[in-house]
Amino acid sequence: MSETKVNFFTDDQVRKYAVVNTKDFREKAEALAVGLSAAALTYWADLARSTFSPSTAQRYVESLYWNPADAQSIKISVMPDTLADLLEGGQDQRDLTEIFLKTSKLSTKGKRYRIIPIDFQKRDVYFGVQRETLGLDVEEVIDMIGDRGFVKGKASILARMSRFEKSGTPAKGFGRANKLSSAEKAVGKQNIKFRTLTPASTWQHPGIRAALLANQVAEWMRMNKSRFLSELFKE
């Protein structure tokens, strides 16, 4: 999916306002833009946790990242080719038989087959890499910036959100961000059963409805940006 950009100013605002003290204005604008994007990413993580099961939400949040290098156009998104990326865009119904049989074996009669392990106990035990967001709502973010000053407030937010920088994102692909623990492996082995898949099998996946959480986050930013801008342009 494409990145969601936090564009702090419109072209009309850039043309309309004349700035006398550019240094102070830039520091103030950058701090508020960083605050808005951090609050948006926090909202995104909370939205994922309220939408998916705890295990799926954990893996989704492991894929979230932001890029605050350009304070006027901060980018937030999920890592490509991850579970979160798949959930965002959704997937059509498909026959899994041939997909699984790409790594099949040949029987003594020359027929393709593959043994598939299946965990029949419904468990939600994935803990993964814990990633705490800013944990502040819009007013709390603005108050923090105001109390600490724009330079220190921006630095504090960047420090607390550094774990969400793209280079440090735990999820690099579709697999787990961390390996199974010994305890998880032991529990899993107790509930594993095996099924044999052949070309005659029909394993249909019903498809995945697109979550489109990014669209909700973009709308949230449009609704809340004016609150941050009011702090910037107030007398």
**179 phi and psi angles, rounded to 5 deg:** -80, 160
Residue 64 has pLDDT above 70, yes or no: yes
Alpha carbon of 212 to those of 1, 10, 44, 51: distances in Å? 10, 25, 11, 11
Helix (H) or strand (E) holding 116: strand 112-119
Model pLDDT for residues 19-63, shown as the tens digit of each residue? 556 888 888 888 999 999 999 999 999 999 999 998 889 889 999
Taking CA 185 as the corner, what is the angle to CA 163 and CA 58, rounded to the nearest 5 degrees?
Answer: 30
Q: CB of 168 within 8 A of CB of 79?
A: no
Radius of gyration of the chain (CA): 23
Out of 84-88, 170-174, 230-234, least confident range? 170-174
Highest mean pLDDT among 6-20, 47-61, 104-118: 47-61
Residue 202: count of CB within 10 angstroms of its CB: 9
**Could you tell me which residue, 48 or 175, shows the higher pLDDT?**
48
Separation of alpha carbons 33 and 161, rounded Å: 14
pLDDT for 80-102, tens place per residue? 999 999 999 998 888 888 888 88
Burial class (CB in 10 A: 0-12, 13-18, 19+), 26: middle
Residue 94, Cα to own-chain centre: how many angstroms? Answer: 25
Percent of the chain with pLDDT over 70: 78
Q: Are 39 and 224 in contact (CB under 8 A)?
A: yes
This prediction's pTM: 0.78
